Every structure is written in C-alpha cells, then in structure tokens.
A and B are shown apart, each in its own frame.
Chain A
Amino acid sequence: MKQPTTNPAIDKVNRGLRRRYRAERRFRICGATAIITALCFLFLLFFSIVANGYKAFQKTYIQIDVFFDPAEFANENLATANFPGLVKTSMSSLFPEVNSRGDKKELFYLVSPGASFQLMQLVKNNPNLIGQQQSVWVAANDDVDMLLKGHIDRTRPETERRVSDKQLAWLDALAADGKIKKTFNTTFFTSGDSREPELAGIWGATCGSFYTLLITLSLSFPIGVAAAVYLEEFAPKNRWTDIIEVNINNLAAVPSIVYGLLGLAVFINFFGMPRSTPVVGGLVLTLMTLPIIIIASRASLKSVPPSIREAALGIGASKMQMVAHHVLPLALPGMLTGTIIGMAHALGETAPLLMVGMVAFIVDIPHGFTDPATVLPVQIYLWSDSPERAFVEKTSAAIMVLLIFLFLMNAAAVYLRKRFEIKW
C-alpha cells in the first residue's frame, strides 16, 4: 500500500503526471511528423525535377567537315548563301553510300536545322573561311539527343520510336569514329526561345524577368516605403486610415489574375502602352507587390521602439528628421526583407502576365523595357506545353534555374535580417 504524502495537491499532480507526459510526447510526435512529411514532399519535388532535368545541361554535337565552297558565296549578301546546302553536302560526304531521296532526308535529319545558322555565323565572323575546309561541331537534332541520353529506347520496334534503324546505324558509325560528343549545353544559357529543343535557351526569359523586376523594384520599393512611413508615422488615426489599412490587407490577398485584368484595362487599353513588354508587366507586378511591401514595412516600423522617436524629438529633431535619421535606418533591414520576398513572389508569377500578353513565343532577346519579352515562369509553362519530348527535360532545367534564383533571393533576405537585425 502506497504511503499517502502529506500534501494533497502534490498527490493530484503526481496522479496526472504520466498522462501529461504522454500528451506532450504525442504533441511533439505530431509536430515532427508534420515536418518530416513536408520535407519528404520537398525532397520528392526536388528529386523529380533534378532527375528529369539534369541531362538538359548536356548537349549532343556531331562533327561534320564543311567545305565552304566559294561558288556558293557568289552573292555579296552572306545571308542568301545556301548554308543548308553546305550542311547537306557535308553529311552526304560522311555517308557517300546514301543515295535515295528518302534516305538522304533521314540522314540530314540527324543534325539540327540550326546547323546552317551556325555556319552562317562562322562565315560572318570570319569571311576568310570561304574556300576552306573546316571541321565543325554542329548541334544534333533533338531526337538524336534524346536517343543518346537514353530517353528513346532503341530496343523498341522501329515504328514506335522516332529514330529509324538506318539512323541508328549511322549514329553508331559516327560514334565509332568519335564524331559524336556531349558537352556542356551553353546554348541553354545564351539563347532565346526556339521551337527546336536543341536551340532553345532561357537567356531571353531571364532578361525579360530582369527588366520586369527592375521596373517592379524601382516603383514598388519607394512607393511602398513612402506609404508605410506616412501611414505609420504621420497619418492621424481615424476612420479613413482604418479603411485604408483594411484595404491594403485585402489587396494582399486578391488573386493575382485580377491585377492582370486591371493592368490590361488601365495600362494597355487606357494608356496605350505596348503589349507583351516588361514596362507593362513590371507595372502590373508593382501593383501586386505593393501591399506585401507596405505591410512588411509597417510591421518593421512598428518594431522600432518609441523611445528612439521620443529621444530624437526630445533633443529638438523635427518629425521628418526623426523619421529620416533614426526610425527609417533602423526599420530598413525589415523593409528590405519584405521587399525581397515580394520580389521573389513577382519573379514566380505568371497569371497576371497572361492578361498583358507576356505569355508569348519570343525568340529575340529583349534589349530594353519596351521590347516584347517573356519571363522565366512563363517560359517553363510554354515548354511544358510543347509536344516535343526533349522539352520535358528543358522544362525541368528551367525550373531548376528559377529555383536557384528564388533561393538566392530568399537567402539574401535571411542574410539581411541576420546581419542588420537589432534586438531591443
């Protein structure tokens, strides 16, 4: 028989103790399970993206010997020369036994249609090449690329794969001669969009994203900070400022497509700005990120203790000096963090841009704010919708690039917070 303790309260605690420990353990396990589940999904996402896309950073090339026949360059204008003909002649010289028209077509299909533009570029850069023989590594067609990367199964019956038995034999012969190589895919980082997967790149979309975000940043940061400072430090507290506050909080939750519709109505239809350009896209994203920045900036202004303000006012600073010299510098790290998170939002946004025409096929790399442009997430969307198999890995590769940008921006936000954080 257990000896009763003298204090009945302790008894009561002791009786419930085990149950309370159990409850706590359950609670902790729940939390840990939630985290582990989230991590599993994250890992699955990264794994599937990387597994799908890492091969896109490599590209297959075929070596051909080109004779830049002077007869082809009789015309002054280089662009009119028959470069596709040069490629075809070179391919034929590799396999002189191929004669029939159908077979030749299959043979020429092994190299990318971009090969002729590559030769054109070579001759443009160095006109002395005319009349010379040179061996050139040209891009292979996307189907060849897919085959060599193992995305096309060569054991399948011929009718079920996009590379015929003859093409397989030629490729094997080329590989045996060392005329096929895989190297780092620079095209992917230096060129604009293309309908040929082997020629498509993300540089155009990256530039578009850059110009768009530059507009967004240069408008939304000053406006957002000014609005926050006024609301927090100068505005009287009355019904009007309450209404404004409620509206700003509401706007932060409005679906982004609504901003796109607004942008279409105001900037394009009313002000007549050009469609599909970073100016319009940037303005629309400014509208979208403003509430986020205002809310973050107000929170960070609120966290500056009133003693700072009172001390500044007490030694005779004007209200503006108090804000500009003391409160704002202290609140700035928090504001920057909010801005960067807002920018990261804007970088990943497609819906509002759909309405202002930035979801478009654009080959030329934009060189300014009024050139037609598209942005990274839109490029991902467009590629994911393309029928060619090779765009699957391009899509994943572009997602990786976008994720890296997002990661860098969020890391910058964390760094700023840690670096300049002031504990009161």
Chain B
Amino acid sequence: MKKSILLASALIAGLFAGSTAQAAGRDYISIVGSSTVYPFSTVVAEQYGKTTNFKTPKIESTGTGGGFKLFCSGVGVEYPDISNASRAIKKSEFDTCQANGVKDIIEIKIGYDGIVFANSKKTAPLKLTRKDIFLALAKDVPDPKGGDKLVPNPYKTWQDIDPALPAVKIEVLGPPPTSGTRDAFVELTMETGAKTFPFIHDMEKKDKNMFKATTQTIREDGAYIEAGENDNLIVQKLEANPSALGIFGYSFLDQNADMIQGSIVENESPTFENIASGKYPVSRPLFFYVKKAHVDVIPGIKEYLAEFTSEKAWGAEGYLADKGMIPMDKKERDSIAEAAKNLSTLTMK
C-alpha cells in the first residue's frame, strides 16, 4: 500500500517535471485551423515528416475561426505556429493578433476549393443558378407576386422556383453555421443570388444589417437540413435519398464520383478544370498563416513552407491536386512561393 502510494506520487512528480521541461522547448510544428484545409495540410505534413529529419507537425482541425483564436493568443511555444484558413484573415482577428504581440504574420494562399451542390446519380443532375439557390434556401424571399416586399419562403418544390426544374421537394443537406464552408456558401451563392433582385442590391448600401439578415438567414422549415460537419455522412444520405441535394467541398465529389454528381451552376459543371480556371462560380481561396516570430524558434518551419510551396505539392500535377485541391496558375504560385521564401509579412490597414 505504502509502496504504491510512493510510486504514484513519484510518477506524478515526474510527470509535472517532465511537462514543464517540455514546455520550455517544442521540437515539432503545431498547426491549427480550418477543417477544409486540414486534408491538404496533413498530406504535406506527412510528406515533410517522412522526407526530412524533423518531426511530423501536429495538426488540429479547429475550424478557421477557432484556429485564429488560438493562433492570435500570443507568441511562445505554447501557442500554435501556423493557422489554416478557408477564408482570408479578418481585420478583427488581425487586430487581436497585434494586441497579443503577434506582430508579423506571413499569409500564404495555397489554392482553391470548390463548393458543390450534389445529388445522387440515380436522378438527373440539376441545372441551377445562384438565384435559384437563394430562392430555395433563404428564410424570406421577394414576393413571387411581384413588388419589393419580402415574404416567408413559399417555395416547396424546385419547380415552384423555375418551371424548368423538376417537381421534387426542396431538401438540402448542408453544413452548420460554425463551418467555414457555410460562410463561403452564404457569401458566394446566397448573397450573389439575392443581389439579382434590384431592391435587395440597393439594400446593401442603405441598410447593411437588413441586407445581411436577408441574404444570410437560411430557412428553418425543414427544407435545409444541417447535416453536421461530416461530409461523408452527407454523401451517404444523398445516396439513400435521391431527391435531396447536398452542399460540401469538391474533394468529396471527386472521391465519390460513382455515387453522386455535381449540379450545374450558372451553366458550368463543377469539374477540376472549371474550378481551376475560375469558370465555376462557387469557389474560394484557401490560406495558411505563419507566425514569423516562431520561424527560428521552432525547428523546421521554413522547410515546411518550402514543402508546401513546392511544385510537387501544390503544382498542377502535385499530390495536393490528387487529394482534390484546385491549384492556382503557375504565375501566382511562383510569386507566392517567392514571398514565402522571403517570409514577407502581411499588413492590414
């Protein structure tokens, strides 16, 4: 009994001593941030860990906002070195960083991700416009009878919106509000779709809050189903329910091309080429942000940047493209790789 107590206390003492010693220096890179960038940064990290003598970076998928919160809390080994983001850093986040002493931040754009609207292969692909999507999913829509008035969304089937669309109940499985995919989806389709109505377009200047509420509020009468962050689950549900439409990142469409198909948006189908060339309208840039103050403190950050910005990783034929990331064009890649090499920092007015 006594022995075991002694042993346990020795163990605990050892642990605390060990943990404080460890906190003094960290020999692996710590990465946080977007779940959309996660599948790409993990591939790079694994490749980097196997081909260099550095340890494999640790990557947490915290979401873009959560990532910046951790990233901007301070400088020191207990804070992450890199934050992945599926959108550019916001002014407010940048200011938090500055206030907490994270002065120099390196922004690196890595490529694009397309947001697709997919349904089961058992039915025909839909031909949608962003206006259709807005009308199908917004909580309040312009009165179908005409006039500049908003009424609660009356549309029950796709055909109600556009006679060319099938007479199928509107049922969309999509990400919850905490997701970066949802932010991008709202901004890229709902807002653009809403702006096709002149009075909503004018609203943006007159009443910003009203504009936001109109374009960003998604209906809650069961037509839009929050399916959680797990995109695999959405794919399975689409397979089981051919009349439903799902919203997720391009890489899931790429991996499941035998079960689901992407809807055509504004006459462009979501293919690799169309997203890369910018023809497909619903795509967003992906980024990661590096704390410059950590570059010479944590070993291997420069090498990680070099791996990520190498042609074999993010190039048109690189392994990230194999995983479903849409690369930038060569010129843009070259200029960003150069900036990454020089550790050029971000400024924000």
Query: Once the chains bind, are A273 and B232 in contact (CB under 8 Å)?
Result: no
Contact bitstring A268-290, B, C-beta under 8 A = 1, else 0: 10001111110100000000000
How far, in whole Å, are A364 and B46 apart by their CA atoms in the complex? 9
How far, in whole Å, are A282 and B30 apart by their CA atoms in the complex? 20
By beta carbon, the residue of chain A nearest B233 is: A384
A:355-377 near B, CB below 8 Å:
357, 359-364, 368-370, 372
B258 sits at the interface (CB 8 A) = yes
Given known A222-B5, A370-B22, contact A361–B252 (CB-CB < 8 A) = no
Q: Which residues in B have their C-beta under 8 angstroms from that of A276?
A: 30, 58, 60
Query: Once the chains bind, are B46 and A363 in contact (CB under 8 Å)?
Result: yes
B11 sits at the interface (CB 8 A) = yes
Contact bitstring B16-45, A, C-beta under 8 A = 1, else 0: 001110110010101000010011001101
Task: Give the contact stretch, choosing among A132-140, A253-261, A387-395.
Answer: A387-395
Q: Which residues in B have their C-beta under 8 angstroms from that of A368?
A: 18
Identify which of B18, B43, B59, B319 contacts A360 (C-beta below 8 A).
Answer: B59
By beta carbon, the residue of chain A nearest B58 is: A372
Given known A195-B46, A219-B12, A324-B1, contact A389–B18 (CB-CB < 8 A) = no
Given known A218-B8, A385-B230, contact A362–B15 (CB-CB < 8 A) = no
Task: Give the contact stretch, choosing among B47-55, B129-137, B274-282.
Answer: B47-55
Name which of A222, A324, A372 has the most chain B CB atoms within 10 A of its CB.
A372
How far, in whole Å, are A361 and B41 apart by their CA atoms in the complex? 10
How far, in whole Å, are A275 and B76 apart by their CA atoms in the complex? 13
Query: Once the chains bind, are B50 and A218 in contact (CB under 8 Å)?
Result: no
**With contacts defined as CB atoms under 8 Å apart, how many contacts are there between chain A and chain B in the complex?**
113
Query: Once the chains bind, are B256 and A274 in contact (CB under 8 Å)?
Result: no
A160 sits at the interface (CB 8 A) = yes
By beta carbon, the residue of chain B nearest A363 is: B56
Identify which of B18, B19, B49, B230 contacts A384 (C-beta below 8 A).
Answer: B230
By beta carbon, the residue of chain B nearest A199 is: B46
Query: Once the chains bind, are A361 and B257 in contact (CB under 8 Å)?
Result: no
Name which of B1, B232, B251, B323 has the most chain A CB atoms within 10 A of its CB.
B232
Chain B interface, >50% SS class: helix
Query: Once the chains bind, are B121 and A273 in contact (CB under 8 Å)?
Result: no
Given known A218-B11, A275-B30, contact A161–B45 (CB-CB < 8 A) = no
State how many angstroms separate the Cβ of A46 from the closest Cβ of chain B: 19
How far, in whole Å, are A385 and B39 apart by their CA atoms in the complex? 10
Query: Once the chains bind, are A359 and B61 in contact (CB under 8 Å)?
Result: yes
Contact bitstring A144-165, B, C-beta under 8 A = 1, else 0: 0000000011001001111000
Given known A215-B15, A360-B58, A385-B232, contact A117–B50 (CB-CB < 8 A) = yes
Identify which of A153, A279, A357, A363 contacts B60 (C-beta below 8 A).
Answer: A357
State how many angstroms separate the Cβ of B311 from the closest Cβ of chain A: 14
Q: Which residues in A have their C-beta under 8 angstroms from that of B317?
A: 105
A:185-237 near B, CB below 8 Å:
194-196, 215, 218-219, 222
Q: Which residues in B have their C-beta under 8 angstroms from that of A362?
A: 56, 58
B78 sits at the interface (CB 8 A) = yes
Contact bitstring A166-197, B, C-beta under 8 A = 1, else 0: 00000000000000000000000000001110
Query: Once the chains bind, are A359 and B39 in contact (CB under 8 Å)?
Result: no
Query: Once the chains bind, are B15 and A279 in contact (CB under 8 Å)?
Result: yes
Query: Once the chains bind, are A387 and B8 in contact (CB under 8 Å)?
Result: no
Query: Once the chains bind, are A79 and B53 in contact (CB under 8 Å)?
Result: yes
Q: Which residues in B have their C-beta under 8 angstroms from that of A372?
A: 28, 30, 58
Query: Once the chains bind, are B19 and A273 in contact (CB under 8 Å)?
Result: yes
A33 sits at the interface (CB 8 A) = no
Query: Once the chains bind, are A389 and B49 in contact (CB under 8 Å)?
Result: no
Query: Once the chains bind, are B256 and A273 in contact (CB under 8 Å)?
Result: no
How far, in whole Å, are A117 and B35 apart by their CA atoms in the complex? 28
B191 sits at the interface (CB 8 A) = no
Contact bitstring B215-227, A, C-beta under 8 A = 1, else 0: 0000000000000
Q: Which residues in B have their C-beta under 8 angstroms from that of A279?
A: 15, 18-19
Query: Once the chains bind, are B232 and A387 in contact (CB under 8 Å)?
Result: yes
A14 sits at the interface (CB 8 A) = no
How far, in whole Å, are A316 and B181 apart by their CA atoms in the complex? 73
Query: Once the chains bind, are A156 and B60 in contact (CB under 8 Å)?
Result: no
By beta carbon, the residue of chain A nearest B79 is: A275
By beta carbon, the residue of chain B nearest A161 is: B258
B229 sits at the interface (CB 8 A) = yes
Contact bitstring B225-259, A, C-beta under 8 A = 1, else 0: 00001111000000000000000000110111110
Identify which of B5, B23, B46, B51 contacts A273 (C-beta below 8 A).
Answer: B23
Query: Once the chains bind, are A369 and B46 in contact (CB under 8 Å)?
Result: no
Query: Once the chains bind, are B232 and A369 in contact (CB under 8 Å)?
Result: no
How far, in whole Å, are A274 and B25 apart by their CA atoms in the complex? 10
Query: Once the chains bind, are A389 and B23 in contact (CB under 8 Å)?
Result: no
How far, in whole Å, are A162 and B28 apart by their CA atoms in the complex? 35
Identify which of B18, B28, B30, B258 contacts A152 (C-beta below 8 A).
Answer: B258
A:106-147 near B, CB below 8 Å:
113, 117
Q: Which residues in A have their C-beta under 8 angstroms from that of B55?
A: 364
Given known A222-B8, A369-B19, A387-B232, contact A272–B45 (CB-CB < 8 A) = no
B324 sits at the interface (CB 8 A) = yes
Query: Once the chains bind, are B251 and A364 in contact (CB under 8 Å)?
Result: no
How far, in whole Å, are A113 and B145 apart by their CA atoms in the complex? 59
12 contacts between A and B (CB under 8 A): A153-B258, A195-B323, A222-B8, A272-B78, A275-B78, A276-B30, A361-B38, A361-B60, A364-B28, A369-B18, A372-B58, A387-B232
| Given A359-B61, A369-B18, A387-B251; 15 other pairs, CB 8 A cutoff | A195-B42, A272-B78, A276-B30, A279-B15, A279-B18, A361-B42, A361-B45, A362-B58, A364-B55, A370-B22, A372-B30, A386-B39, A387-B231, A389-B255, A392-B232
